[in-house]
Structure 1
């Protein structure tokens, strides 16, 4: 049986709905932390102009490979081993990746340590170098240090019980990291299950 995330399955259609206008005219998405590759196969099935490059920690690649072998298509190449803590990212696994114009990550930043989150934004700035390239982050956020719901506050406690370095991140901190990496904030859209979809654009 393929690895499966119920949350990714529940939210895949609304994520696709929000991504569709953002990916119009785009070519090549690098997904950081692809999990089970459910977003990759769902988005590329609906948007065949997009090449979707999965990536994750090396130990998670077998599950991604299994899904891509079963459900993938010509627009979902083999996943890359990628660790946000290690830089620079090595993306040229036998082919050119200089046309990546989108970085997408879902439900990852609250799992990483804050240092790794900073590494993610720094590496994203090294990867997306053209003005107009975009970075899209999906997941729960805090604003001004406050949780948006009681359930997110409870989720934050649960995350910290699993790993003290994890936790729901402050939007303001993420925006500052994005700005330092050369991105400007564009939009923040509310999503189901108390999540957000935040878009930054490469500005310099």
Structure 2
């Protein structure tokens, strides 16, 4: 599981992410305002599963399907599923960069947090291709959370240092340019509709299928 967070192991086999615990409330506020009342949500790179549990619990009319390519992550998510609400589904072994692992089902929304900068660009390319395929049209929602570079906004010192640390770990990692992400989304039929400033110099980027 690719994460920069220090995870806590719980007795039931689940892992807990302090960062996910901290930011789940503000992310949920944005999701509540833009997700449909009912439908199906696919979460990409769900990691420990903290977000999946929190959002499925808070949004009982939505079927929430988490996914992650990491067996360790899926084991943690499965532990949360066993203790969670009935609308939280078993995790999929989905790799955004590998179309062979993608589901054929349709979803009303796709959610992905903190993946684009902790993965090669090919994973973001795959994410947009996947979202373009599985989102219901028109108006299916793609919601991204994390730090981004922006041409019109000075990069915060903390984000600049974070970017350097990511590239030191793996040259293929690093903060992505928001404009490049939005251009990639457009090439897959997804229009950027909203940019929401979040705490700690993060953003929520929302896209809709045409």
1:109–1:169 CA contact under 8 A, matched in 2: yes
Aligned pair partner of 1:127 in 131, 134, 137 = 134
Alignment partner, residue 18 of structure 1:
30
Alignment partner, residue 64 of structure 1:
77
TM-fit CA distance, 1:129: 4.4
Alignment partner, residue 164 of structure 2:
157
1:135–1:199 CA contact under 8 A, matched in 2: yes
Aligned pair partner of 1:181 in 188, 191, 209 = 188
Divergent runs of 4+, >6 A = none
Q: Quick one: structure 1 residues 137 and 180, their matched pair in 2 at CA, closer, same or farther if it must change by over 3 Å?
A: same
CA distance in 2, matches of 1:89, 1:151: 35
TM-fit CA distance, 1:119: 1.5
Alignment partner, residue 19 of structure 2:
7
CA distance in 2, matches of 1:26, 1:191: 25
CA distance in 1, matches of 2:196, 2:161: 22
| Of 126-135 and 5-14, the range deviating more from structure 2 | 126-135
1:52 aligns with 2:64: yes
2:136–2:209 CA contact under 8 A, matched in 1: yes
Matches within 5 A, 1:89-108: 89-91=101-103, 97-98=105-106, 100-108=107-115
TM-fit CA distance, 1:146: 6.5
Which ranges of structure 1 fall in alignment gaps of 5 or more residues?
none
1:80 aligns with 2:92: yes
TM-fit CA distance, 1:117: 1.2
Which ranges of structure 2 fall in alignment gaps of 5 or more residues?
1-9
1:40 aligns with 2:47: no
Q: TM-score, normalized by length of structure 2?
A: 0.89
